[in-house]
Amino acid sequence: MRLSGIRGIMEPAWQKKIYLVYTLIIIFSIFGYGIQKVCCFTLFPDEFGYWASAAHLTGYDWSDMTALGSYYSFGYGLLLFPILKFFSDGILAYRAAIVLNMILMCVSLFLLQSIIRELFPEESEVQRVFISSAAVLYPSWIFYMQMTMTEALLMFLMVLTVRLLILLLRNSGRSMAAGLAVVCAYMYCVHMRTLGVMVACVIVVCLWAIEKPQARKQALLFLLVLLAAIIMAYIFKRYTIAEVFPNVSSKRLAHNDYGGFWSKIKSVFTRSGIIHITAGIMGKIFYLGLASFGLFYWAMGWCLKGTAELVRAFKRNEEKKETGYMSLFLLLAAISEILVCAIYMASDDNVDALIYGRYNDFLVPVLMVTGIYALRRSRYFLRFSLLWGAVSGVMAILLFILVEAEKRTRIRGYMVVGICYLINRDNFDPHFYFAATWLMGAGMILLTAGFVRLSGRKGNRAWIMGGILAMEVVLGLYASHEFLYHYNETHFIDKAVAETIQAESEENDPVFYLKEDNTKYISAIQMMLGSQRIQTVQEDAFLEGAGTGNFLIVRRDTKHREKLKELYQKRVETNTFILYYNKKRRMSKDGKEEKDESDC
């Protein structure tokens, strides 16, 4: 009896370790599979914009390339700077950043387990592993982990923010207050759309200080550190705009800054604006609901219930629970981020602008944790799951009606990764897409509900949650193949341009790019070249003789092929570009000029 009792105590601990190792192996396997399939940017000019700040800190001059895009926040660049400083090869630097994403994903797995332990102590150790695993293997996180958009970093920072906020509410430590302020400010520096998360955090900390007078010093420290960090961020932002994006027009700068956002807010207060904002909010809820397999709806129910209990506790002057404060925080963060995204995308005429998921994806992992907890304890899980599926269907119909009325025909799958699985890139049909996406999403809502409920029954059935993990991995890899590896196939061919320049050029040899259109793809070649600067040449200046140095990069469909054949001896032709260059004279040991018989 005694030995069996000890075995009963020890078994879950061993199971926890085994399942935890399994999840880490899954993450590392996805990383190992994908790292060989990527070598540079997928989204232009966004990814380049984040690397541009790191390049400036490293001492590189990429000013001609940054002029092709807009302003991008510097926060991620601070993290990329040591990587670019250590790796002079652009492809190695890019892949090193993906390694960092993978490490942050693994760290988040442990942070989420500690969050579950604090908020939901009734969950077993093994259940915590599976719930946190389901959160970090969210398909969009798998997708963004393999590139250098800010989303993977923001998902980690959101998890870290929740963890620090819980510690602050529980321990009232000054170090926690300062740490939370720094993380909130840094998240804002990574991307300004996270302002809503920072505001939500300020509101919760202030309410907490009102309830507990002994915690007011910590709350004041939090506010002072946050204010100081915001002031420093503003100074660094002005420096970044002046030094990293010096040639970008004020109009283009405003596109990713508050100037453009305030103009979008003004447009909201019109009849058309109200319609688009309402549809945009509905579209973001539609995305979050289906992308999270219905867990977003369960999470919002948990947040509303917890917030209502917090309000009642304030009215009755009763003790407030930490779960109430966390409910309010997650509710405010979700509402504010949905509003920011809906306003920002209101004037965009793409189909994905209505259901834009990229800006809100970073909230989903934490919400999935609370959603699983709420689903498992609901007595009416089947009824509500059917209700979530039906509500999603109504939203799909309304969104399709607007798409048809405005004749929207273009969708960017990489902006709606969580529901991109049924997009036909060659022949997009909105009617089929919304109908099929809803049917698939409703099916996954019911399937996920079944997995969660069965795994919570007695008899140590936590392993059933593995069905959700398998579903997530398949969907994440499918999205990666369609919208990540697919685009990188071109980069693997285009890197011949950078390799030729590096092999044939000498120090300070100028490299020019003939700008014949508004494409930003040339920034991928700049990333591969690293410290070797690419200078842009306008078409009219080129016709007058400018930019005809040893190396000239042009678009593959250039109109000036005949003239370039007269000016240059050799060329390298890839999928996107043609590199024209003149062969350097190379002398043999006996002093004679070496002949090159090759023909490119």
Backbone angles phi, psi at 317, to 5 degrees: 55, 40
Rounded to whole angstroms, the Cα distance separating 90 from 530 reads: 6
On the question of pLDDT at 588 being above 60, the answer is no
Strands 570-573 and 577-581: antiparallel
Helices 90-119 + 2-35 axis angle, to 10? 150
Helices 295-315 + 271-291 axis angle, to 10? 110
Q: What is the mean pLDDT of residues 218-225?
A: 97
Q: What is the mean pLDDT of residues 474-499?
A: 94
Q: Please report the pLDDT score of residue 370 as a whole number.
A: 97
Q: Please report the pLDDT score of residue 258 as a whole number.
A: 67
pLDDT band at 221 (very low <50, low <70, confident <90, very high): very high
pLDDT band at 319 (very low <50, low <70, confident <90, very high): confident
Q: Please report the pLDDT score of residue 518 as a whole number.
A: 76
Question: What pTM was computed for the model?
Answer: 0.93
Cα distance from N-terminal residue to C-terminal residue, the chain: 80
Residue 454: closest CA among 375, 341, 526: 375
Strands 551-555 and 577-581: antiparallel
Residue 508: closest CA among 525, 537, 531: 531
Rounded to whole angstroms, the Cα distance separating 296 from 366 reads: 10
Q: Please report the pLDDT score of residue 263 as a whole number.
A: 67
In the chain, the amino acid numbered 116 is I
Q: Please report the pLDDT score of residue 458 as a whole number.
A: 67
pLDDT band at 268 (very low <50, low <70, confident <90, very high): confident
- In the structure, how many helices (H) and strands (E) does the chain have? 25, 5
Residues 6+ positions from 441 with CB-CB distance below 8 Å = 289, 290, 293, 294, 389, 392, 419
pLDDT band at 442 (very low <50, low <70, confident <90, very high): very high
pLDDT band at 4 (very low <50, low <70, confident <90, very high): very low
Q: Please report the pLDDT score of residue 600 as a whole number.
A: 44
Rounded to whole angstroms, the Cα distance separating 452 from 465 reads: 6
User: Which alpha helices (DSSP H) does 484-591 contain, by range?
Assistant: 486-504, 522-529, 539-543, 561-567
124-175: pLDDT as tens digits: 899 999 999 999 999 999 999 999 999 999 999 999 999 999 999 987 788 9
Rounded to whole angstroms, the Cα distance separating 47 from 483 reads: 15
On the question of pLDDT at 237 being above 80, the answer is yes
Q: Please report the pLDDT score of residue 593 as a whole number.
A: 47
Residue 576: closest CA among 557, 551, 589, 600: 557
CB 522 within 8 A of CB 577: yes
The residue with tokens 């593959």 is: 556
Strands 551-555 and 511-515: parallel
On the question of pLDDT at 583 being above 80, the answer is no
Q: Please report the pLDDT score of residue 173 as a whole number.
A: 82
On the question of pLDDT at 12 being above 80, the answer is no
Residue 503: closest CA among 600, 576, 591, 575: 600
Q: Please report the pLDDT score of residue 15 as a whole number.
A: 81
Q: Please compute, for residue 83, the number of CA atoms within 13 A of its CA located in the half-sphere on the CB side.
A: 24
Percent of the chain past pLDDT 90, that is, above it, reads: 75
Q: What is the mean pLDDT of residues 60-88?
A: 94
On the question of pLDDT at 596 being above 80, the answer is no
CA distances from 339 to 265, 283, 290, 302, 396 (A): 11, 11, 18, 20, 19
SS3 call for 431 = helix
Residue 311 has which token pair?
Answer: 């309000």
337-350: pLDDT as tens digits: 999 999 989 888 99
pLDDT band at 8 (very low <50, low <70, confident <90, very high): very low
**Lowest pLDDT segment from 180-184, 364-368, 580-584:** 580-584
On the question of pLDDT at 248 being above 90, the answer is no
On the question of pLDDT at 194 being above 50, the answer is yes
Between 390 and 509, where is the model more confident?
Answer: 390
Q: Please report the pLDDT score of residue 3 as a whole number.
A: 35
CA distances from 372 to 16, 293, 364, 466 (A): 18, 10, 12, 14
On the question of pLDDT at 472 being above 80, the answer is yes
Q: What is the mean pLDDT of residues 273-300?
A: 96
24-61: pLDDT as tens digits: 999 999 999 999 999 999 998 899 999 999 999 999 99
Residue 16 has which token pair?
Answer: 């926890």
Rounded to whole angstroms, the Cα distance separating 45 from 43 reads: 6
Residue 353: closest CA among 439, 283, 250: 283
Backbone angles phi, psi at 245, to 5 degrees: -120, 55
